[in-house]
Structure 1
Amino acid sequence: MALIDEAGADAITMRGLAEAVGVTPMALYNHFSSKRALLSAVAENVISAADFDGQHANWRDQVHHCFSVLRSLCLQHPGLPRLLEFEGAAPASVFAPMEVTLRALREAGLGDIDSARTYFLLVSFTLTQAAYQARRVPDLEPSAQIRAERIAGRGYEAIEHLAWPETWDFDASFEFGITLILNGVESIAAGDEGRHAPS
């Protein structure tokens, strides 16, 4: 997993991995029939160790727990999302966060399709934020560009006048984002209840 985090799943070869762990390539083939089988086992090992189900009584706490765990996992292993995109590498356990989330959102009063949409929204938000935090791009940091006067005089007044912090608080940003999404869930669920309430 350390090699995948550093170079990506695409860069892993059976020969290169064998050299890294000090064995012959055939020694790996004694355990795994292919690179795909090996990557699937790595993904299963990482994901199955994560406790996505916090068993919280409150649906909001349950969803928050699930995506906090997913975020921590992606920060610890930045190569994991790309690994799961490798054909045949995603194990069945990759659906554990979805199961936890759909159950919680059903409890919140959301319909099936809206629950699925919310799940994918939460996944997109969490993975994108974790990916950026793990591999920050200085040229995309507004505060750095303002300090370097690279965007001065280009008409980006709202950006320039914002009181940007010296360092971005990714934890606070994650909490803000997930709270925003869950507040939206509550609002939609309350609206659905109102529409179905007896007159």
Structure 2
Amino acid sequence: MIEATIAMVDRDGADAFSLRALASELGVTPMALYNHVASKRDLLVSAADRILASAKFDHGETNWRLQIEGCFRALREVCIRHPGTARLMEIEGIAPSAVFGPMEVTLDALSKVGLNPTDAMRAYFTLVSFTLAQVSYQTRGPFSHLDPAEAIRKQNLSASLVELVREALPASSSWDFDRAFEYGLSLILDGIEKS
């Protein structure tokens, strides 16, 4: 039942999930589900817990940077594997304590190199925001109305911007999300290192 819930959340999104839809998917009556689960909320909590338990946020690295890189690569990977995860975590009362794994890893790693707690927390929020936004775009996008190539085709960009976009994104190439993630992660960690 939990695996079916995860599959439905990944496919349809957390907001569309219902016990009635799950029962239909499983070929049972909605009331039959209550023999196994107390509520929709409890089932979503179990699904979120199972998803996050599959991620290894703490890599046991002594180097702060390698520890944080591993942590946010793991967060990105679990969110790509389960595209409904980010939204599931936003629903009040659903996120299990494991959702704070990346925070614990980040704050611990940065405290060991002497970053003050406030800046360490800011760094964490920057890292998690970047990671979840990048995953969201990768799993739900690309959005044609935000695609620079489409904007060029529709002549929605200034001539100077068209030139810059064509230099940055040759027509024959496709966007490499992995490289873009690694680049952004590196920029953030470089900034932390200089602070």
Deviation track 1:112-162 (CA, whole Å, cap 9, x = no partner) reads: 01111110100000000011011211221112332x2432xx535134333
| Whole-angstrom distance in 2 between the partners of 1:102 and 1:81 | 21
For 2:148, the equivalent position in structure 1 comes to 142
| Whole-angstrom distance in 1 between the partners of 2:50 and 2:39 | 17
Deviation at 1:179, TM superposition (A): 0.7
1:177 and 2:177 equivalent? no
Between structure 1 and structure 2, the one with the greater Rg is 1
| Whole-angstrom distance in 1 between the partners of 2:159 and 2:57 | 41
Label 1:119 to 1:156 Cα distance change in 2 as closer, same or farther (>3 A). farther
1:160 and 2:167 equivalent? no
Label 1:106 to 1:23 Cα distance change in 2 as closer, same or farther (>3 A). same
The one-letter code of the counterpart of 2:28 is V
For 1:197, the equivalent position in structure 2 comes to none
Q: TM-score, normalised by structure 2?
A: 0.89
Deviation track 1:23-49 (CA, whole Å, cap 9, x = no partner) reads: 222222122211111100000011012
Q: Which moved more, 1:98-107 or 1:160-169?
A: 160-169
| Whole-angstrom distance in 2 between the partners of 1:81 and 1:38 | 17
Structure 2 residue corresponding to 1:131, chosen from 116, 136, 139 = 136
Structure 2 residue corresponding to 1:75, chosen from 69, 77, 80 = 80
For 1:48, the equivalent position in structure 2 comes to 53
Q: Is the 8 A contact 1:39 1:89 kept in 2?
A: yes
Where 2:179 maps in the other structure, the secondary structure is helix
For 1:119, the equivalent position in structure 2 comes to 124
Q: Which moved more, 1:157-166 or 1:116-125?
A: 157-166
The runs of 4+ residues in structure 1 deviating greater than 4 Å are none
For 1:28, the equivalent position in structure 2 comes to 33
Where 1:81 maps in the other structure, the secondary structure is helix
Q: Is the 8 A contact 1:51 1:69 kept in 2?
A: yes
The one-letter code of the counterpart of 2:107 is L
Q: Is the 8 A contact 1:108 1:186 kept in 2?
A: no
For 1:37, the equivalent position in structure 2 comes to 42
Alignment length (residue pairs): 185
The one-letter code of the counterpart of 1:143 is A
For 1:65, the equivalent position in structure 2 comes to 70
Where 2:9 maps in the other structure, the secondary structure is helix
Label 1:178 to 1:38 Cα distance change in 2 as closer, same or farther (>3 A). same
The one-letter code of the counterpart of 1:139 is H
